[in-house]
Amino acid sequence: MSALAQDDSGPDLGDIEIVQSSTCFGFTDIENPRALEICDALELEENVRARELAEEWIRLQPDSPAAQFAFAEVLYTAEGNLARAMFHLNRAESLTGYADINEAVESGNIQWHYLTLSQLSNVHQLMGDQLRALEYLDRIEEIYGQDIESFRGWPLLKLKQYDAARASATAVLENSENERERARAWNTLCAVELASLAPVDSMAVCNRAISEDENLAARSNTGDTVYLTNASEVALSLLRMDAAEDYLDRATRNLNPDSVADPWVYKLYLTMSQGRFEEARAALDRMLIWRENQKPIVGVMNRAEHYMVSAAFMLLAGYAEDAAVLSATALNQPDRNGSYSADDFQKDAMAALVNAIANRMQYQVRLEEAAGAGWTGALKARIDAAGLLFAAWRSERYAASLFTRPEILLNRLRPYAPLDVHIPEWIEPDLVRMIGAGVVRKALDEALAAGAFELNTGYYHSWLTEAAAVEGNEGAVIEHGARALAELPGQEALLRARVAARMGDAHWRLGEHENALEHLENAFRVDPGVSRRLGIELPVSLRVSGGGLSRELADNLHASPRFSEHENGFPLEAGGDGAVCLRTRSGENLSCYTAPAENASEASRAFHSWAFGPGFEISKAQRSILRGSSVILANGARRMENSPELLSEN
């Protein structure tokens, strides 16, 4: 998701004052033997036994609110199954429904009633129903007189009631000395300050949230990565890339399975954008380790985020089919984004956008394969390509329908908009083709006037470069592209490569060959796959050395959509041993690959995979893990046997 995250401390178990070490569902005086057995099983991470005990209890006493609540907690804790947990929480509520604390005390079910209301507020918030979450908070305050102000801020923020959220957080800071409550309040204020399109003046408020949390961590060793990842997002919105990475590095030092904020997701986005592919690959590995160790409820909340960042990485690595599967999987995940500042549908918009790019990229790959196939193979590849183009069009229409709301589009144009789903800056310009250059240009002017590009107008010109390219205005592409390259931060490697590729293509169309090759070379060196993703042909001068295989290989390369032959293009040499070399005009290697291929078709396909990727392969096993199948199955079996305890509520 990469928007700001809440600290996941819902208004229930962990905030109850505990004076003894032995507790059950947060209380020290629960005496029901069945409840104590379930709590013991959860404490020992015997989740299968906990579920069996809860199912037996609910089967024997279906009208017991304690049994209904206990079963809901097992579903929430061991499986992260929010929908089924809510069903049993609703059942527990229907069996209580007390109007005041006296009635609750007389019933003998006061603990179960309080816990049910608390967890209903929490689950509604996680599932995106903020109004219902607030209603349950009001009922807790009305019946039990508990101060729940520190829990109001985040639902109000999600409802975009920024003034009310600010007032609520300020009231907490004025009246509470509880450091956990104060950390939540500073976190809410941090998010509220970012609601404007213009950049914040400083990070003081967000740093206070970190400070309060680290004070707690020093004593309890339960610090939350949320505050550090949020501060990183804010630093990015201020274009302080080094500071953003420093916050992330601090967050990665300790594995935190309780936290919805996986810092390796953000580290992966950052290293990708900066063209640090080997470090991105390492971040991907660490992200998978973090994901495998998450508690089930956390995995439910951020699984779509893992799928989306993995899909973006697969685009860069050249695995378009995997990117399409991952983005479609993210699109089909139920919204469990209540702990993120972004709206629920923004996840779908991002997933649809990446899915469209992935399908278009697959389309280009199929055309590359058709160039090296026989008549039958070429026909099949082109039929497949047509289907992919239609799939891309459908995803584009869906993404456009979500992004064309004026307020959403304006926020999207702001560099590193911290309250929105994180869409990498090198991917965002694809929106221009989807929603229209005219619409984007109008929104850009509004965003510019509102201060969205106050820190760096290079981003503004990068959008205009893309709009001009979509309209076929080569002069405007070159004009705005030059401004973008002059002003964009150096760390924006992939966005700069995209702009350079657009400029190179425009210069070539105008017959300015030397300028074109310079920009295309710069783009290729940083991001070899950019021309494939944009559908740009590299001008090449084909040269053949060797026997019949080299001639056939040259014919395949000539038919490829990646290249257009011209005497002034990059030298592209096909050798008799299946070797292919793309060189600069001065003879320097850009990409050389010798495939152990038996025919020209295999050699051509292998060269395309190598040349238009980051230079490394990702095993099929790891790609399967990214898709989630083996991880989900393995983790499911492991956690059913040895599952961590309930997500700690702070």
Indicate whether 297 belongs to any domain.
yes
Identify the CATH number of the domain in which residue 47 sits.
Answer: 1.25.40.10
pLDDT of residue 11: 47
Indicate whether 44 belongs to any domain.
yes
Token pair 């007390």 is found at 98
Indicate whether 180 belongs to any domain.
yes
Indicate whether 515 belongs to any domain.
no
pLDDT of residue 54: 96
Q: Which two tokens stand for residue 419?
A: 């309250």
pLDDT of residue 646: 23
pLDDT of residue 7: 67
pLDDT of residue 551: 87
Q: Whole-prediction pTM value?
A: 0.86
pLDDT of residue 641: 32
The residue type of 457 is T
Full DSSP string of 68-91: HHHHHHHIIIII--HHHHHHHHHH
Are 271 and 302 within one domain?
yes
Are 603 and 637 within one domain?
no
pLDDT of residue 353: 93
Are 593 and 638 within one domain?
no
Indicate whether 415 belongs to any domain.
no
Indicate whether 307 belongs to any domain.
yes
Indicate whether 591 belongs to any domain.
yes
Are 540 and 638 within one domain?
no
Are 581 and 637 within one domain?
no
Indicate whether 366 belongs to any domain.
no
Segments of the chain scoring below 50 in pLDDT: 11-21, 218-222, 629-650
Sheet containing strand 570-575, strands side by side: 563-565, 538-545, 570-575, 579-583, 589-594
Q: What share of the chain in percent tops pLDDT 90?
A: 53
Alpha helix locations (H) across 372-473? 375-403, 406-413, 430-435, 437-449, 458-471
Are 585 and 638 within one domain?
no
Pairwise CA distance, residues 192 & 164, whole Å: 10
Q: Is 607 helix (H, G, I), strand (E, B) or coil?
A: helix
Q: CA-CA-CA-CA torsion for 548, 550, 555, 558, nearest 10 degrees?
A: -170
Are 638 and 558 within one domain?
no
Are 596 and 637 within one domain?
no
pLDDT of residue 230: 83
Tally of domains within the chain: 2
Q: pLDDT tens digit string along 101-119? A: 999 899 989 999 999 999 9
> Do residues 30 and 36 touch, judged by C-beta distance below 8 A?
yes
Q: What residue numbers bound the domain in which 301 lies?
A: 13-336+633-642
Are 541 and 637 within one domain?
no
Are 587 and 637 within one domain?
no
Please compute Rg for the chain using Cα positions: 28
Are 544 and 637 within one domain?
no
Q: Which two tokens stand for residue 185?
A: 């309040």
Are 319 and 243 within one domain?
yes
Closest CA to 366 of 349, 384, 354: 384
